[in-house]
Amino acid sequence: MKPASFHYHRAYTAEQAVTLLAELGDDAKLIAGGQSLVAMMNFRLARPAQLIDIADVAALRYVQHDVDGLRIGALTTHHAIETDYRDVLADGFEVIVDAMRWIGHLPIRTRGTIGGSIAHADATAEWCLLAVLLDAEIVTLSVRGRRSIAAGEFFYGFYSTALEPDEMIVEILFPAPARHAAMAEYAQRHGDFAVVAAAVNLHLEQDGSLRGGRVVLGGVGPVPVIADAATAVLSSGRQLTPQAATECGSVTADSLDLDDAVPGGAAYTRGLVRNLVTRALCQAAQLEEVVR
Ligand SMILES: Cc1cc2nc3c(=O)[nH]c(=O)nc-3n(C[C@H](O)[C@H](O)[C@H](O)COP(=O)(O)OP(=O)(O)OC[C@H]3O[C@@H](n4cnc5c(N)ncnc54)[C@H](O)[C@@H]3O)c2cc1C
């Protein structure tokens, strides 16, 4: 399949890109790594008449710390995170580095970007889960200025977000390290999007007791879902043992309102949730998983 014809523009700065977006109107679309958009164009699921290539906006390729947290430029690729910036992320943001191995294959990771992934808003995409898990802020730019959107309010539904048509994501801010966080997934083949993914972030006392935490699930709804039932268990103050992790996995799975429209059906999805939440909790707390 080949895409419908389009006009091609190249931007070298974020300001140039958003000026073009404003001038060209609703028919314009940004292209970053092209790893999702090109496939959609080839299948004619997207037919932008004007394409604005932002891959050369080099100033948006960075990872840096400041007083507000960890800032990642929107054009930073998945592969740069797992290679060039591994050391910068080694002080509490290891879960971000670890999550990159789940994204497609190496050629996809060398071109695909964090900004593109979050704007595309696949409900099982690793960056979308991480953003919700870690209370990220999505920073956008348009000719009207900058704004910051909490990840929890950014994802509206399947491939639908709070982004306005003339806005570009320029940065993702992760406000706090997550020293006990992990992600576990199941995909049909390595490199495929996950069928179900579970991401956890634990607040543990020195003695291993739980002081709170969050479980975020992908593959159980149109957006990454915070599992409230797990939050209750993780706030209980008890010790996180492998048995407690298993219990939390079961409570989470049983609490989900799933219909048979989810791939594989509700019972299959529930089983995956149970196991993946348990596994992610054990990994986050560095416990041996109880094999059942
Ligand atoms: C075979 C295959 C397997 C894959 N597996 C996975 C996987 O397991 N997990 C996963 O998360 N992803 C997976 N992907 C997708 C990959 O991660 C993409 O890199 C990502 O979804 C989109 O990033 P991109 O930079 O390529 O964006 P593009 O494809 O260029 O753009 C995607 C969308 O985002 C918009 N956009 C891009 N950048 C911005 C910006 N800065 N501001 C606003 N809008 C923007 C575009 O207009 C477009 O609508 C896979 C892709 C392929 C082809």
Structural domains of the chain, with CATH: 7-53 (3.30.43.10), 58-174 (3.30.465.10), 181-284 (3.30.390.50)
Q: Which residue minimizes the CA distance to atom 53 of ligand 1?
A: 35
Atom of ligand 1 nearest to the CA of 60: 41
Cα–ligand 1 centroid distance for 38 (angstroms):
9
Nearest residue (CA) to ligand 1, atom 23: 116
Enumerate residues lining ligand 1, CB below 6 A: 29-37, 39, 74, 102-104, 108, 111-113, 115-117, 119-120, 125-126, 163, 168-169, 191, 193
Instruction: Please report the sign of the dihedral spanned by the C-alpha atoms of residue 282, residue 283, residue 285, residue 289.
Output: positive
Whole-prediction pTM? 0.96
Angle of helix 266-284 relative to helix 242-255, nearest 10 degrees, comes to 150
Contacts of 55 (CB under 8 A, 6+ apart): 31, 32, 33, 34, 75
Tokens 């947290």 belong to residue: 69
Give the start-end residues of each E strand in 115-166: 137-142, 145-150, 155-157, 160-161
Among 54, 103, 114, which is best to mutate for testing ligand 1, by the most ligand atoms less than 8 A from CB? 103
CA distance 262 to 87: 38
pLDDT digit string (tens) for the chain, length 292 residues: 789 999 999 999 999 999 999 999 999 999 999 999 999 999 999 999 999 999 999 999 999 999 999 999 999 999 999 999 999 999 899 999 999 999 999 999 999 999 999 999 999 999 999 999 999 999 999 999 999 999 999 999 999 999 999 999 999 999 999 999 999 999 999 889 999 999 999 999 988 899 999 999 999 999 999 999 999 899 989 999 999 999 999 999 999 998 877 777 899 999 999 999 999 999 999 887 765 5
Tokens representing residue 142 in the block: 């348009």
Q: Are 128 and 103 in contact (CB under 8 A)?
A: no
Amino acid (1-letter code) at residue 96: I
